[in-house]
Amino acid sequence: MAQSALSRQIRDLERELGLQLFVRTTTSVRLTDAGANFHQAVVKLLMQLSIAVTGAQEIANGRGGDFNIASDWRFSIHLIPELVHRFRQLYPKVKVAFSDVQSGEQIEALRTGRIHLGFVPDMALGAREDLGLMKIYSAELMVVLPSSHRLAGRENIALRELAEEKWVRLEDKKDTYARSFLMQICRPAGFTPKLGRNTASIAGALALVAAGEGITLLPPLLIPSSYGGVCAVPTDCPAISLYAVWLKSAATPLVERFTEMLTEQFGLAPAKRLPGAEPAVRQQPLVQAKKKTGSRSKAG
């Protein structure tokens, strides 16, 4: 820029500020006290602007910002927390919040922007036109009985044979998903389940079953290999699937990066670009529990 043009811009700025920025002599130019203060403030502002631009670019590129993930820890699988830990290591500038949100609340949390990604069983999805979905786990349900139960020695059990049983549910006062799930499961078998005790944890459910308070349904992955006083037997219940879920209209680069890791972790078909991509998953079960033939699964 020509010296005369620069001088003119400085004088225009001085007139706009209503103060003199420079002391000018025939041999030198230096900042006034007001000019020095103004210069320091402008340098700080430019540094803050640079930080703001860098931060915004990192968020836009999926390498920074906040990422809120929810999982219902009653129904989750151990690979999800491991994947969250790995994601934190790969993207240390991302502030990952991994929280316990019940299945029935996660869809609303997505739609209100409280979370970016959730993990929800298929029966809790409801209307899904606005959701991106990725099926990551599918397994048959097993009925967990007290070891002394009359059906504990069976190789498999038809659900209709359990019509007179009391059912232990994984729910608390705020969450009725387990009740709705149980009603849907039992309806094709022709009965309404008799509801017994409820608990908020897998360990609590197993303890209630062992104590003779009722029976419950669980996928094999959630049943400990050794737990005294209970027995797990295959049933004719339909398989339960767990989905990664996000809001299509609000999918961020962080959602895309995390779903790419899910694709790698669970051996899924390559994910399509987000947002608004159709579910990029294979339709067959991905982690399928083997059906027991000729033997029953015992926990203890």
Mean of per-residue pLDDT scores for the chain: 82
208 shares a domain with 189: yes
CA–CA dist 113, 262 (Å, integer): 21
Q: What's the CATH number where 165 sits?
A: 3.40.190.10
In a domain, 129, yes or no: yes
245 shares a domain with 116: yes
In a domain, 101, yes or no: yes
Confidence of residue 294 (pLDDT cuts 50, 70, 90): very low
pLDDT tens figures, 62-83: 777 899 999 887 666 677 888 8
CA–CA dist 108, 115 (Å, integer): 9
CA–CA dist 263, 195 (Å, integer): 38
In a domain, 70, yes or no: yes
Longest dimension (CA), the chain: 108
93 shares a domain with 50: no
Signed CA dihedral, 176, 181, 187, 189: sign only? negative
250 shares a domain with 109: yes
Q: How many helices (H) and strands (E) does the chain have?
A: 7, 13
In a domain, 274, yes or no: no
Q: Give residue 37's domain range.
A: 3-20+30-55
pLDDT (mean) for 108-125: 90
245 shares a domain with 132: yes
- Phi, psi angles (nearest 5°) of residue 252: -105, 170
Q: Is 205 helix (H, G, I), strand (E, B) or coil?
A: helix
Q: DSSP E strands: which ranges in the chain?
A: 22-24, 29-31, 65-71, 94-100, 117-121, 131-139, 142-146, 166-170, 194-199, 216-218, 230-234, 240-247, 297-299
161 shares a domain with 150: yes
43 shares a domain with 73: no
In a domain, 271, yes or no: no
170 shares a domain with 110: no
CA–CA dist 257, 219 (Å, integer): 28
Confirm if 248 and 276 have CB atoms less than 8 A apart. Answer: yes
208 shares a domain with 88: no
CA–CA dist 268, 289 (Å, integer): 17
74 shares a domain with 49: no
Q: Report the pLDDT value the prediction gives residue 176, as an integer from 0 to 100.
A: 66
113 shares a domain with 233: no
pLDDT (mean) for 267-296: 40
In a domain, 120, yes or no: yes
In a domain, 283, yes or no: no
pLDDT tens figures, 211-229: 999 999 998 888 887 788 9
Look at the chain and report how many structural domains it folds into. Answer: 3
pLDDT tens figures, 255-275: 999 999 988 887 765 444 444
101 shares a domain with 38: no
In a domain, 8, yes or no: yes
